[in-house]
Amino acid sequence: MDNILVLYGSYRSDRLGVRLADYLVSGFLARGANAELIDAKAVGLPMLDRMYKEYSAGTAPPNMEALASRLRSADAFVFVTGEYNWGPQPGLKNLTDHFMEEWFWRPAAIASYSNGRFSGVRSGTTWHAILAEMGMIVISSTLAVGPIEQTLDAGGHPTGTPGDALQALFPRFADDLAWWTDAARAKRARTSPPF
């Protein structure tokens, strides 16, 4: 069973992207994966001052230590990103930057959203480079959802024609992530990573 962490990073009071994060968790669970939401706002890491690896063993803040453990046990990651002025959300980027080796040698997928017609794709493109630099295998399939309020209701359930389109795209996205998850897990079992 794949252990997938869905990471979401908006700190806004009226968060719409959590609808997509909830949809993805439900979708992966329905496919038999063990999927869990990691909400940067709920984790509550401070602005980056010291990375997890810069703490002596056992001295990292408890919320950081707990998240590091969850990251190490994950088989794959899904980053749910909105777009702030053509770029990634600072909350999700801040959470991501607290860790390094915990991300290595696992696949990552990107699901972007916005309330406009560009669906957060500019932020998704930026995330592709960030995640690759951090040692993740970024899959080629992406999801771009917008306008999000017309695609998913407050409970993360698809609505109308945009919701139908998302439902049609999700299986390929999930299949692509599953293939790379299996490939990376098999390779790690046979050979230690080169660094």
Complete domains list, the chain, with CATH = 3-190 (3.40.50.360)
In angstroms, how far is CA 151 from the centroid of its own chain? 19
pLDDT of residue 141: 97
**107: which strand partners?**
137
Instruction: Retrieve residue 117's tokens.
Output: 């017609």
Per DSSP, the chain holds a count of helices (H) and strands (E) of 7, 5
Residues 88-135 have pLDDT tens digits of 899 999 999 999 999 999 999 999 999 888 888 999 999 999 999 999
pLDDT in tens, the chain (195 residues): 899 999 999 999 999 999 999 999 999 999 999 999 999 999 999 999 999 999 999 999 999 999 999 999 999 999 999 988 888 899 999 999 999 999 999 999 999 999 888 888 999 999 999 999 999 999 999 999 999 999 999 999 999 999 999 999 999 999 999 999 999 999 999 998 887
188 by Cβ neighbours in 10 Å (0-12 / 13-18 / 19+) ranks as middle
Length of the chain: 195
Residues 20, 113 contacting (CB under 8 angstroms): yes
The CA distance from 49 to 52, in Å, is: 10
User: In the chain, what's the furthest Cα-to-Cα distance?
Assistant: 52
pTM: 0.96
Cα–Cα separations (whole angstroms), residue 29 to 5, 34, 37, 76, 112 = 11, 6, 11, 14, 20
pLDDT of residue 194: 83
- Please list the alpha-helical segments (H only) found in 75-144: 90-97, 121-133
- C-alpha closest to that of 99 among 135, 58, 51, 55: 51
Residues 136, 106 contacting (CB under 8 angstroms): yes
The CA distance from 97 to 47, in Å, is: 10
E strand or H helix at 108: strand 107-113
Residues 18, 8 contacting (CB under 8 angstroms): yes
In angstroms, how far is CA 113 from the centroid of its own chain? 12
Angle at 145 between CA 45 and CA 126, to 5 degrees: 55
